[in-house]
Structure 1
Amino acid sequence: MESILKINLEGKTVLLRADINSEVINGKVLMSERIRESSKTIKLLKNKRAKVVVISHQGRPGKKDFTSLKSHAELLNKLVKVKFVPDIYGKTAQKEIKNLKNGEAILLENVRFTKDEFKKGKTKFIKEISKLCDIYVNDAFSVLHRTQASIISFPKYMKSYAGPLLEKEVNALKKIHLKNCLYILGGAKSDDNILLLGKNKVLACGLFGPMCLVAIGKKLGKEEEFMKEKITDYKNSLKRLKIELKKTGKYVNLPIDFGVEMGGKRKNMILSKFPNKFEALDIGDGTQKKYINEIKKAKSIYMKGPAGYYLDKKFLDGTKNILKAISESRAFSLLSGGDLNNAIKMSGISEEKFGHVSLAGGAVIDYLAGKKLPGLEALGFYKTKKVR
């Protein structure tokens, strides 16, 4: 897998697969770290006098956040000049690509607007764009676990390279010592967490902590109702988790107490007081001490998702104290997930205190679980095992 950084790009038309997929609230696209980081890559390519064609996606078909990239272009333009083109591979897009001058950049429409993005082979999308561009650069690590056309098909027909963001993510993952890595698994995406259960020591928190307790037979009362609402396909996920914990349960550390809300205030409640009418909104004081002791002994650490309902400052404590312990540890640390990124900011701890804070979620999980990422395979990573 080759890096784009040392390649002479002057006069070359560069197709950049970025990931600027961002949160959409009430129809409004919000500024995100992905947009900020992608703007740096666009700026780098423009400074190399390349003609830059940016492609990306937003949301999934049928979802509320499935929308045009017009707003993304407006947000990008606060950081780097990019022209939005409301077309993917039709005549308008082709004309704009042909008219590009050195040091200019355009952003094409959401690639998921075309069914070709979900097809294999040399579709019209791949054919029309690849013949107009000289080089393909993938800088979207967070979608490398997907098998969509903009990720795996272009490298078959074009000279392809790894972008600086992708390279940074891969190099960080290679620093994780998988055999002795401590996994701190939180958040609400239980299926991702289940993938990582094995012989590594796990600290279960977020919604995953209570879910593990239910999986081994503990009744939690109202918290179980809350999990059914918040966790996708809860019934099947719980079934899978029960099976996995029978095999790997001895490696999984579970919460011994929780932070609950009583009269508008945070109260600590030990596990033996459940089931009850309270939701477990954070890991408790005892659990925090127990987990921090494990962090101090770790040689490398991976944390995914927050430890509790961090959006309410009363229940940020668990996440904040875990993050503080990681930041003070000598172990290499990798942190990932959008909610955890936000929680880091709310905690007031500098990202520089951690080994690497990833913009990706599912791709990191698959990599750590030992799966081959289709996007990396397309770039030849598994042939060379390094970025050169």
Structure 2
Amino acid sequence: MFKTLDDLDPEQRVLVRLDLNSPVEDGEVQDNRRFDRHAETVRELAEAGHRVVLMAHQGRPGGDDFVSLEQHADILASHIDRDVGFVADTYGDDAIAAIDALEAGDVLLLENTRMCDEELPEEDPEVKADTEFVRTLAEHVDAYVNDAYSAAHRSHASLVGFPLVLPAYAGRVMETEYEANSSIATREFDGQVTMVVGGTKATDVIDVMNNLGDKVDQFLLGGIAGELFLRAAGNDVGFDLDGMDFFDDQWAENRETIESLLDERGDQIKLAVDLAYEDETDDRGEIAVANITEKDRAYLDVGSMTVDEYDPIIRDSEAVFVKGALGLFEDERFAVGTTGVLRAIAETDCFSVVGGGDTSRAIGMYGMDEGDFGHVSIAGGAYIRALTGAPLAGVEALKQD
């Protein structure tokens, strides 16, 4: 297991990796829950008298969201109630001068790590540890903290290089995310374990089912992946219509595996009994799956009868995990499935983890309280890898220390 902030010596100059990757609209960085989550780690370090040097990334080179972190510093400052300095440099003379000038309790954010050429290529930790980026910064700090669980599946320099050359620790986000997201594999539950599985990628669903089939009693399906499983069960859905590119390629790649899962684990898998669509008046319409004789429209959510069937299963569970949305919840007309299962979880005294990219956003969008859930993950790819049993490069690097 890795060390945490509880093990960190006092009065250190600490290099901290966060994940502040955010939506950017018209050049303006949008505040989001990642700032609030990481604020706990940053605030704790600063209040303890450490000199805090922060690293984070934003977007990828060439993308519209590939911007400087200057705005991120201001947003983070509002969450920790103290100034956050910013330097438009990652490890050059300006960055080093700013790091060396820090006083106890000061917080400094370095420029976007992905503006450094040595950051992005996926390479072994030993290679990353030998980069000029890592070697230069390591000489000016005492310890490294990785709080970026949501980026921990990447073998980038700022995530896997520093633990090989510095005393390394997990921040509070890393610690809580790792414990919660690994719990389905590491904890023993006496009662029923249920997993709500949706989203757009059938391979994610397949990998999760294959890895957790012996630990999960019921899988409740929805989303594009759920529609592909309905097709495998003999229903006239799960096809692309003109202008679509969601189903046919995934069906060709995964048909045999999906059919095999239904055959081997059919008693564990619950499929939608009705689906929702946009009707002629632009309102929500619903149709029973059994009444669909030919797919002639896009289905954008599971239907109300499906939610009614899923609801008691959730309420009878000791633990519920959510991976992916059951519908296009960003449109209120098609949020019934996703919000229906989330409200059932919130009203149930069960252990729960909600994750999978943007799915957790539905909690705030529809007036639910994160406090009613065991854990709401801010991770996407890392959450999926944890559920499928794949190692996370950033976590493994911390464990090596």
Q: What TM-score results when the alignment is normalised by the length of structure 2?
A: 0.87
Q: How does 1:120-131 map to 2 (within 5 A)?
A: 120-121=127-128, 122-131=130-139
Superposed displacement of residue 154, structure 1: 0.4
Aligned to 1:2: 3
Q: How does 1:198-213 map to 2 (within 5 A)?
A: 198=210, 199=213, 200=216, 201-213=218-230
Gapped runs of 5+ residues in structure 1? 384-388
Aligned to 1:238: 251
Aligned to 1:368: 387
User: Among residues 87, 93, 116, which one is paired with 2:118 in the alignment?
Assistant: 116
Aligned to 1:185: 197
Superposed displacement of residue 114, structure 1: 1.5
Aligned to 1:79: 79
1:24 has 2:24 as partner: yes
Aligned to 1:91: 93
**Whole-angstrom CA distance in 2 between matches of 1:82 and 1:318:** 41
Secondary structure, aligned partner of 1:335: strand
Secondary structure, aligned partner of 1:290: helix
Superposed displacement of residue 217, structure 1: 5.3
AA partner of residue 205 (structure 1): G
**Whole-angstrom CA distance in 2 between matches of 1:261 and 1:347:** 20
AA partner of residue 205 (structure 2): N
8 A Cα contact 2:232 2:259, kept in partner? no
Cα distance, 1:194–1:71 mapped onto 2, change above 3 Å: farther
Q: Which moved more, 1:93-102 or 1:116-125?
A: 116-125
**Whole-angstrom CA distance in 2 between matches of 1:159 and 1:19:** 20
Aligned to 2:142: 134
**Whole-angstrom CA distance in 2 between matches of 1:97 and 1:244:** 53
Cα distance, 1:237–1:9 mapped onto 2, change above 3 Å: farther
Aligned to 2:371: 352
1:287 has 2:295 as partner: no
Aligned residues, how many? 377
8 A Cα contact 1:226 1:279, kept in partner? no
Secondary structure, aligned partner of 1:155: helix
**Whole-angstrom CA distance in 2 between matches of 1:51 and 1:274:** 65
Superposed displacement of residue 259, structure 1: 1.6
Q: Which moved more, 1:327-336 or 1:291-300?
A: 291-300
Superposed displacement of residue 307, structure 1: 1.6
Residue by residue over 1:112-166, the C-alpha shift from the partner in whole angstroms, topping out at 9 and shown as x without a partner, is 1112112524100011011111000011111111111111110000000111111
Q: What TM-score results when the alignment is normalised by the length of structure 1?
A: 0.90
AA partner of residue 19 (structure 2): D
User: Among residues 242, 264, 273, which one is paired with 1:256 in the alignment?
Assistant: 273
Secondary structure, aligned partner of 2:237: coil
Aligned to 1:386: none
Cα distance, 1:299–1:242 mapped onto 2, change above 3 Å: farther
8 A Cα contact 1:172 1:334, kept in partner? yes
Aligned to 1:296: 315
Cα distance, 1:60–1:226 mapped onto 2, change above 3 Å: farther
AA partner of residue 209 (structure 2): L
User: Among residues 199, 216, 220, which one is paired with 2:237 in the alignment?
Assistant: 220
Aligned to 2:331: 312
AA partner of residue 187 (structure 1): G
Aligned to 1:145: 153
8 A Cα contact 1:152 1:375, kept in partner? yes
Q: Which moved more, 1:263-272 or 1:92-101?
A: 263-272
Supply the RMSD in Å over aligned alpha carbons.
2.3
Secondary structure, aligned partner of 1:102: coil
Secondary structure, aligned partner of 1:166: helix
8 A Cα contact 1:302 1:335, kept in partner? yes
AA partner of residue 204 (structure 1): L
Secondary structure, aligned partner of 1:97: helix
